[in-house]
Amino acid sequence: MGNLVQLKTISDLYRFLKLGYAEHPLIAVVDFSKVIEHTPEEIRIKTDFYSIMFKNYCKNHLRYGRKTLDFQDGSLVCIAPNRVITIDNDIEIKENMMGWGLFFHPDLIRDSALGNKIKAYSFFSYEISEALHLSEKEKQLLYDCIIKIQGELTQNIDGYSQALIISNVELLLNYCARYYGRQFITRKPANLEIITRVEKLLKDYFEKEDHRNEGMPSVKYLATKMNVSPGYLSDVLKKETGLSAQDHIHYFVIEQAKNILIQTNQSVSEIAYALGFEYPQYFSRLFKQKTGKTPLEYRSDN
């Protein structure tokens, strides 16, 4: 495993890439064609800032955890702060490099409207392998945003600079959100398969009685079994069914509880523990939230 490099500031990034001095302390646009590949065979990088990267050249890979993305088809990845990525150079590359990177520190947007809603851009939590695949038109629209940001960075700073930079970053993120929505639609057959697999995983989990030892199944458990990130899983399910991954878990568990309430005389506490709830009160509260009735009310009505 390669050494871990911690990049805390934009200046650290410039030093790592050997690009001289940063034009702004909190945000940078990097033209990858100007970066000389100098990393060892494998290096792990952890940053304190957001990274949005579009790269299109062969024989270079990014890995996040065990997932690998080959950039040769021109994909875009968005990475939140404090996530470790691995750059794996299997051969030395100095030609045919193209692409760009936008890097910005949370402090840039901390007191802005974008800072309040940055968590809503769930694609920052996706795995590297769940990259955004762009059409030529989409690539150009994103690149236009990058050019505008770069233009502001090279201008003399005035009272409008910060607001214009942030608004163009937000515009780029909104385009990314739109394009991910389009990608979910174009991958509909694969998405429907995900729904089927989620239902089967939940069914198997309870049939094998894993819940008795492991408790309620989690979104992370489902995502790990399906080899996707929790954020991506929830967004796919939300897009296709209107329910998040957590909603799917709750729906399945409540249906199980309904059957037990009707078919047995077990107490509410016994049912709660049997379904993997640590606290019966939480089970009762969730049941009423989803059905409009307490467990005992549901039993008496049926």
Distance in angstroms (rounded) separating the CA atoms of residues 240 and 13: 39
Q: In what order do the strands lie in the sheet with 132-133?
A: 27-31, 99-104, 50-55, 75-79, 132-133
At 150 the pLDDT is 94
Is residue 287 pLDDT above 80, yes or no? yes
Q: What percent of the chain has pLDDT over 90?
A: 36
Segment 183-228, tens digit of pLDDT? 877 666 666 778 888 888 988 888 887 667 777 889 999 998 888 8
Segment 31-82, tens digit of pLDDT? 988 876 555 566 778 899 999 998 764 444 555 444 454 444 568 889 889 8
Average pLDDT, the chain: 83
> Please, which pLDDT band fits residue 126 given cuts at 50, 70 and 90?
confident
Residues of the chain with CATH 1.10.10.60: 189-301
Segment 90-111, tens digit of pLDDT? 444 444 456 899 999 999 999 8
Answering whether pTM is above 0.75, one says no
At 186 the pLDDT is 67
Is the domain 4-186 a CATH 1.10.357.10 member? no
Residues of the chain with CATH 2.60.120.280: 4-186
Averaged pLDDT for residues 262-288: 91
Say which residue, 179 or 188, is predicted with more confidence: 179
Say which residue, 155 or 101, is predicted with more confidence: 101
State which fold the 189-301 domain adopts: Arc Repressor Mutant, subunit A (1.10.10)
Averaged pLDDT for residues 2-21: 88
